[in-house]
Homo-oligomer: A and B are copies of this chain.
């Protein structure tokens, strides 16, 4: 059930992103943008589409938001992977953007994907101009210098610091770096419908942390063929992660506890939130 709906959303979003790219000038920039949007679970898009469905918002209205969230996420990956940042050469089982093309192309493709994300949020299909401006402001807040980019900056600062982050520090960093965009995705459907979003905000906060803890676990227990990215990097870099500070068993206990809290937060939605509940379980069962 979950897998079917995730596949459906992934296909919808990939087709819509492809259509958007087809309207751009042909060349390496567009090719690179398309490349970094390829693959992945499209988990954030799934959150948008399910949040919309829960609030009676049509797929047609939610799709540009789902695409914007994935375009923004793709930009953040292209920039995070750069040599000056995390210096990663493998992502989603493929060479990272700067390896496949060049550093300049990866910087510009990321820049252009951020712009494209905002442009997609102006789509009249989403709703009234008021709704769109409200979404754009919330999106900017989630991904900008008080949100995602701030978290990435904290992450980089922590690597060079003498005292490694503790659990509270890692949590603060991840809430900004990955949590803010996940939260935006999860509440976006409620925002389009003008409905309260507090339950989804709590769900997303727990889900985002569980997701990150599981990423840290996979960096220790996973293999490159399955995860599609390099593993063991954090340990080699001496980087503080949920696993390095909690230990593997406590990290596993913590992610389970978070998933239970995420599911409990969805109680007001009853059975309608079945997919989101399944997603929370999937997040800590996944091997990639």
Chain A interfacial positions (CB closer than 8 Å to B)? 24-25, 27-30, 33, 75, 79, 82, 84-85, 102-105, 107-108, 110-112, 114-116, 118-119, 121-122, 128-130, 132-133, 136-137, 140-141, 143-146, 149-150, 152-153, 156-157
Contacts and interface: CB of A to CB of B under 8 A. Distances in A.
Given A104-B85, A153-B29, A153-B108, A24 B145 contact: yes
Contacts of A104: 84-85, 156
Given A107-B79, A144-B119, A149 B112 contact: yes
Contact of A122 (B27, B79, B102, B133): B133
Contacts of A141: 119
Given A79-B107, A153-B105, A136 B118 contact: yes
Contacts of A119: 136-137, 140-141, 144
A30 B146 CA distance: 9
A116 B103 contact: no
A2 to B, nearest CB: 32
Nearest to A33: B145
Given A129-B128, A153-B105, A145 B29 contact: yes
Nearest to A32: B153
A28 B153 contact: yes
Contacts of A25: 145-146, 150
> What is the total number of copies of this protein in its complex?
2
Q: Is the interface of A mostly helix, strand, loop or mixed?
A: helix
Nearest to A143: B115
Contact of A114 (B114, B121, B132): B114
Contacts of A115: 114, 140, 143-145, 149
Nearest to A82: B107
Contacts of A79: 107-108, 111
A257 B11 CA distance: 53
Contact of A140 (B33, B118, B129): B118
A116 B144 contact: yes
Contacts of A111: 75, 79, 110-111, 114, 149
18 contacts: A25-B145, A29-B150, A29-B153, A30-B145, A79-B111, A84-B104, A85-B107, A108-B152, A108-B153, A108-B156, A111-B114, A112-B149, A118-B136, A122-B133, A122-B136, A122-B140, A129-B130, A136-B136
Given A114-B115, A136-B136, 6 more contacts: A24-B146, A27-B157, A29-B153, A30-B145, A107-B107, A118-B136
